[in-house]
A and B are shown apart, each in its own frame.
Chain A
């Protein structure tokens, strides 16, 4: 009946002025003075009767009038000409590639909204990392450039091309050098474009440099075996893994692949075959990998080299420089033990080292040769191309610039002004270059020093390819029209080098036809469907190490002495990459910033990690600000007390302290890259430093401490020895309840349940980000995390435990009183709504907003919820989250949902929740419903695996299994039958729908 007339209240609304739009977003013009009200007389003031009645009357009238609104006018705008493959409401999936991993991109109505691993991918087998999951958000990042830039002004592509080409011609005539600086390029087509560019401008050289470098391993392999490659590691073939500070589950080379391999020897299947690998980790800071190790020994960076020499000698070598580690007897014992075990596991073991020092890596090669790793657990003939940076070449490039030999430089996916060890040296040298071009997608630290910024596409907008390891080629295909006015960097290089093929898409096709399709039976169409081509594995040769090691040992000893010589006042500083932010490229991704660090659970900041005992000795408390200083650089950061950190060391993560990352990522934490040293031809992440109190403190936003477990026995673990005797050891005695206050629920149709294997879960956090993307979970920011208001539906709880002399303590508060906390061990437990059959939350909801379903799920009806928060209060698992704000319509939370671009990433099948309602894990009910509907439409029963929840789908180790418990053959029903299964807080009879399998440790008594 109502007409579609528009009503307005004032001119500003009619004209829709900026101020009005802004003010309209807030429900209140200024923040609510809640604090004042609470602090002052506030609640005890007396309201006169007349005022009260006035307010009441006005309120009633206002509500009545508000209810009389005419029908809202929603526009419905169909396609003018609908693309044939798009059906509104049905997602399309396209193959593409993220960091060399083949992926599937889910698009709705032409916009990518979620990324999944491609089951065909040889690296990930359909799984994906947290960073891969989060990469879809970068596509809509508002901090990206909207247009190409010339001298800080927006310009057109035509003008850019004209300018760059004219300059290049001049430089060519002048005969000076041209440099293309990039992080590792493994894309065959990009490489070919650069080769063509070099052919056109012969003075050009391509310099590859990675922020976190693997040059040490590549150089060492060149030195040892004449093969300058990064080998492929096969942790699945290793029964014994000895790692020296290599965080291979978190960040080292190819973590998703390594997680999968690692878990394959520790999961349910492996345990049923009575087999489990053993993992010994030596490291200074507590890394994700170290926290998963069966035996973890804290080791100072200066002791690392010596320990390697000792290990080599214990395995039968004879090197000078080995000595007893007098300050660290545990490490000495462990080295002896490791040597013993390694010699027993020849051909089934691997030793890895995270150092970027060539000498150390040569020694590791020698050890691996002794234990017969080459050809079994390490493959040099099918190398990995994930990293190929050369540190020395980059340093030489800076010298060239300083000498005035370079006239043009192009930065492709590279940001040395931020991550080079001496940014000022780089900046000064760069100013001597005439033509500076950056392909950065934003005005980052390096791009803002360039005359020309030619913004590159996000990978979801562009064509491209990758070659992650020998003979494995994957394709990048666009899934959306460019969001901003960007262009493929390669396209620019083609145009500027007057290439015969001007179109990069055509170029890639030509390149594949020439080099790859000719060697396989695939076509372009096959490729787009499967996403990759594998040309087969070459036979892995065995290599034995024959070089002389004495010079190497001498270098190691010298470096160790240099690190240790600082004396008592000095600490050894260890610079590392953390799981979420990595090298800082994706620092502007709010999902990653809010993903808690797996070990420390810190969000939105980096910090100085320090051992409890050592901190006590220095008189430093948690969150105290301290200054860390080396000869060339100093920063002030808050302290985090980290059990398991080696005494006398501190650890700081890189990737923070970006100044020009964008809205979310700028000025988060401090930059630690300048602490890195260029030594013996590589960038080294350890150095000697001094620390001093800077005064004041700074509260880090941590998530873990938000809930107390009240000393309850939530984690169950056992040892391999006990497990082999009794598979159900450690699960505790099962509670048989003789009577029950509640009626049983029937689950006649489906019964959705989950099994989580604590022994497979490594705590990497991919599930958390996958859940964020799938369920439109808001990002709340640092302050709100401090107020314990993070919204993650799934969290990974990290529990420390202490095992020595039969004493075992699980309560966090008691840990503080322990003398020696070097020997903590860690268990990760993904915690999400348990979908209890007798859910405590359901019985206390006064409005029946959370109720049980016939399929075993605990439903949450947002439009019924009135926000009493009784349910959260009554939930023993603390998994319910309350919406304190309208996160999607509040300018205080500007970094994600409250933005017309980033909103495009929201999943249209899941509502965004409004302020004042409770939310929690729904077991991806939208996926369950979609899976059921698909089966109904195809008139077939639902198959196991038809419905996969987001956390399960991305989990690199397959630790999370979900399915129909009523189907006895389903994977989840089988998993729950395992003897290791226990239910968290079973004793309070909540009948949870999620069964956990005990953590098993493969410990060996010395």
Chain B
């Protein structure tokens, strides 16, 4: 059940993705040089500028109106030189935004710059409301899966069972009535039945075949039993668990597209038991200026704003306030009770890749539990995985001692005692 709906969900998602991409593509065609400018803008400008708001440098909305194009071309190519030459406009800008100095971009051609300016113009002209409406759409869309699959399935099952019960009861009633009538010697209706006899003859005959009934019942019991048995084994396994998180953080964007190393945020993975969710100061290293304003019509992304709200940070004044509120993430990977797991042993010592347990995390817009996290799953891996002992002096003696006992065998974690109870349960 779960996997089917998972499949549907992913299909729906890709459909939405495809359609939104095509819409975007159509609008891009509309202004070609603005499109090329957009790419350069994102690459070169966004670390200091946004369209609608002041970041490090000024907001760029309406820059085409404030300055003439010739001045802008010169300024963007080599701002420090202009300031040195004593240009009054340049001096005024520097005064306003010091100590930040506009970087020189001698590598940009005039056409490139014109593209950027066209893009800024196009972006600046967009109505501000559209960003908000898309944001609300997204949030309502996220709540669609409210009635859980389990409840639906249960309801359907109950209806089916009720229907079956009614059928059986009907049948029993009619049989009883017939027997009653037969006893009273009233067999008039027999002739009426004769007419239908031909149609259900085969079925009726079969239903009187005790061997056949036994076979059907046996099959049903085996089928239901094994379904139940399999279901029981799935108890408390939450593979695919994907709770709604307080911030829609996308690993696909951060780890996949931007290729940020896992360790940059999950600092504990190599040295501690916990990989640990990064504290917000780690987020702020980038999101101090990365505000995705281009996607939200000059506004700061609502998800990034959540970081600011939690820290009580005002992006305009760049001041931190006292009313902080921690972000309450929902834990996805819940290990069974009484089990000890240490990230550093697996990631640091054994060199296991994050993806081995967490799946293709760099492609997940929202994280879900990839592995079953059952003991069987742990043990299987311990039985198959060879110990990463090369160049680690800790293992030298240990391997030598085991080598004597288990000549030629693969030196897996299990051989070194990795499947003993007390290694994980204490």
Residues on A lying within 8 angstroms of B by beta carbon are: 1-5, 67-82, 87-90, 746, 748-749, 849, 851, 853-855, 857, 859-864, 909-911, 922, 925-926, 929, 932-933, 935-937, 939-942
Contacts and interface: CB of A to CB of B under 8 A. Distances in A.
B257 interface: no
A851 B422 CA distance: 9
A451 B257 CA distance: 66
A4 B330 contact: yes
Given A853-B422, A863-B337, A863-B338, A73 B349 contact: no
A748 B402 contact: yes
- Interface residues of B toward A: which range? 35 or more
Contacts of B416: 749, 854
B176 to A, nearest CB: 25
Given A77-B326, A748-B405, A749-B417, A1 B6 contact: yes
A916 to B, nearest CB: 13
A88 B273 CA distance: 8
Nearest to B391: A939
A748 B281 contact: no
B394 A932 contact: yes
B393 A81 contact: no
A909 B338 CA distance: 10
Nearest to B350: A936
B311 interface: yes
Given A67-B232, A90-B271, A936 B349 contact: yes
B410 interface: no
Contact of A853 (B268, B338, B405, B417): B417
Given A78-B280, A89-B342, 14 more contacts: A2-B238, A67-B235, A81-B311, A89-B276, A90-B273, A749-B398, A749-B402, A853-B421, A860-B422, A863-B336, A909-B340, A929-B426, A932-B394, A940-B394
B417 A936 contact: no
A559 B396 CA distance: 72
Contact of B425 (A68, A70, A861, A942): A861
B239 to A, nearest CB: 9
A933 B344 contact: yes
Given A70-B148, A77-B328, A939-B393, A89 B241 contact: no
A937 B310 CA distance: 36
Interface string B76-97: 0000000000000000000000
Contacts of B281: 80-82
Given A1-B241, A854-B417, A78 B393 contact: no
Interface string B367-385: 0000000000000000000
B365 interface: no
A936 to B, nearest CB: 4
A36 B344 CA distance: 53
B42 interface: no
Interface in B231-266: 232, 235-236, 238, 240-244
Interface string B339-364: 11010110011000000000000000
A82 B392 CA distance: 32
Contacts of A67: 232, 235-236
B334 interface: yes
A860 B338 CA distance: 11
A925 B340 CA distance: 11
A980 B326 CA distance: 60
Given A749-B398, A941-B393, A76 B277 contact: yes
B171 interface: no
A81 B338 contact: no
B366 to A, nearest CB: 12
B322 to A, nearest CB: 12
Contacts of A925: 422, 426
B379 to A, nearest CB: 13
A1 B426 contact: no
Interface string B98-131: 0000000000000000000000000000000000
A88 B276 contact: yes
Contact of B327 (A77, A853, A854, A929): A77
A748 B395 CA distance: 12
Given A1-B242, A81-B280, A749-B401, A88 B271 contact: no
B197 interface: no
B225 interface: no
A82 B331 CA distance: 19
Nearest to A79: B279
B146 interface: yes
Contact of A861 (B241, B310, B421): B421
15 contacts: A4-B243, A74-B330, A76-B329, A78-B280, A82-B281, A87-B272, A89-B276, A748-B404, A749-B398, A853-B421, A854-B420, A862-B338, A864-B425, A926-B340, A937-B271
Give 8 closest A-B pairs by Cβ, nearest first. A859-B422, A89-B272, A89-B273, A82-B279, A748-B401, A79-B279, A861-B421, A89-B274
Which of A1, A87, A863, A925 has the most chain B CB atoms inside 10 A of its CB?
A1
B397 interface: yes
Contacts of A849: 421
B255 to A, nearest CB: 17
Nearest to A852: B420
A922 B393 CA distance: 27
A940 B416 CA distance: 17
Contacts of A69: 236
B423 interface: yes
B200 interface: no
A2 B241 contact: yes
B73 to A, nearest CB: 43
A68 B150 contact: yes
Given A749-B417, A940-B393, A2 B148 contact: yes
Contact of A910 (B268, B342, B391, B426): B426
Contact of B345 (A5, A851, A853, A936): A936
Contacts of B404: 748
A467 B368 CA distance: 57
Contacts of A78: 276-280, 326-327, 329
Contacts of B422: 853, 857, 859-861, 922, 925
A934 to B, nearest CB: 10
Nearest to A861: B421
Contacts of B310: 80
Contacts of A940: 393-394
Interface in B212-243: 232, 235-236, 238, 240-243
Contacts of B408: none
A31 B404 CA distance: 58
A939 B329 contact: no
A852 B368 CA distance: 37
Contacts of B14: none
A925 B236 CA distance: 28
A849 B277 CA distance: 34
A356 B235 CA distance: 69
Nearest to B6: A1
B369 to A, nearest CB: 8
Nearest to A935: B394
B5 interface: yes
A910 B340 CA distance: 9
A746 B349 CA distance: 25
B288 interface: no
Contacts of A937: 271, 344, 348-349
Given A67-B235, A863-B425, A936 B401 contact: no
